[in-house]
Amino acid sequence: MITWKSVLNNYIKDTNRMEVEHSFVALRSYVMDPSYYRTESNRRERILKHGISSYQRVLRAETSARLISLNEQERLVIAAIRINKKWQYDTGRDCEQVHKEQLTFVYRRGEWVISKIDPLQTERNVSKAEPVELDRLRMSQPYINRSLLSNRNESTRSIQYNRQLAVNYANVWWNKANPDYEHYDVDCTNFVSQCLFAGGIPMNYTGKRETGWWYEGYENGRERWSFSWAVANSLQLYMQSSHTGLRVETVDSARKLALGDIISYDWDGNTQYQHTAIVTGFDPSGEPLVNAHTNDSRNRYWDYKDSHAWTERTRYTFFHIY
């Protein structure tokens, strides 16, 4: 008898094949979730529609999975898995993404099938952080990454953003958490803030979570970081108004961005930004590629039309750091 584990192995193998052939044929014998086909069809239609100019043609795909939780009963199994996908395109570009899914297996009519596929994490997730009272407040003072300075007495104004250091950091930590920082379920903006700090952008410490751009971690069980450090909409608003330390200008095209620049994503076109990514490269036509957390991505095409979070209302803000 074919076990649910065999069905899981088939699912990983067949979804990997689907990345190249864009066909559901192999899945239809054991995946019985109509919503999965509907959502995935819409996503793949977008990829194929923009494939020539954006995603190019996939030459090779690799997919691996790791079990992260399991609820196993006699005729019902609910498994959460972490899936890592790698693509090689005909232009020579490679890309990686990590995401999590929950698969529901049921045993009926003498065989195991997948009755439901639910994404556990998407770029649409929003941090619900709320203000907390702090024991004390401090005067605002930029916190500088001193390891970037040749002269320890150098002023904040003289610090130049080291784009390559920011990109290097993004490439090292794109799919894992730096233990020096807290890791959040919705981690995209926390990750980008770490990249900016690694590139030499000084923290603007106010002690108030609603202002500045700063991180301290936990103190006596309390979260000590500004909303702008870890919440996409808050960082977007901070970048729009910051004139010291983090100095940016908005540009009207992704092609005007440079390495280490930032893109904010408003999936619903309602000025509530829900995702943040950092530019780490460019494709042969000069379009930016980005790294991000939630879902972990490396060398991803910047427009995110391959994401389940993307809608026709999606709007972007392009931030060039100077």
Confidence of residue 302 (pLDDT cuts 50, 70, 90): very high
Nearest Cα to Cα of residue 197 among 175, 220, 225:
225
Separation of alpha carbons 120 and 125, rounded Å? 10
| Tens of pLDDT, residues 59-93 | 999 999 999 999 999 999 999 999 999 999 888 88
Whether residue 233 is found in the same domain as residue 167: yes
Kindly state whether residues 125 and 240 are assigned to the same domain. yes
Q: What's the structural domain count of the chain?
A: 2
pLDDT digits (tens, 9 = 90+) for 178-211: 999 999 999 999 999 999 999 999 999 999 999 9
Please indicate, yes or no, whether residues 275 and 203 belong to a single structural domain of this protein. yes
- Kindly report, residue by residue over 98-143, the tens digit of the pLDDT: 999 999 999 999 999 999 999 997 788 655 443 333 233 233 333 4
Point out the domain boundary residue: 119, 142, 163.
Answer: 119
177 in the same domain as 36: no
Predicted structure pTM score: 0.87
Domain end: 119, 136, 171, which one?
Answer: 119
Q: Do 229 and 176 share a structural domain?
A: yes
DSSP states of 3-72: -HHHHHHHHHHHHHHHHHH---TTTTTTB--HHHHHHHHHHHHHHHHTIIIII--EEEEEEEEEEEEEEE
Q: Which of 119, 144, 172 marks a domain boundary?
A: 119
Short-list 63, 55, 228, 220, CA closest to 129: 228
The pLDDT of residue 39 is: 93
What confidence tens digit (pLDDT) does each residue in 283-294 have?
989 999 999 999
Pair 229, 213: CB distance under 8 Å? yes
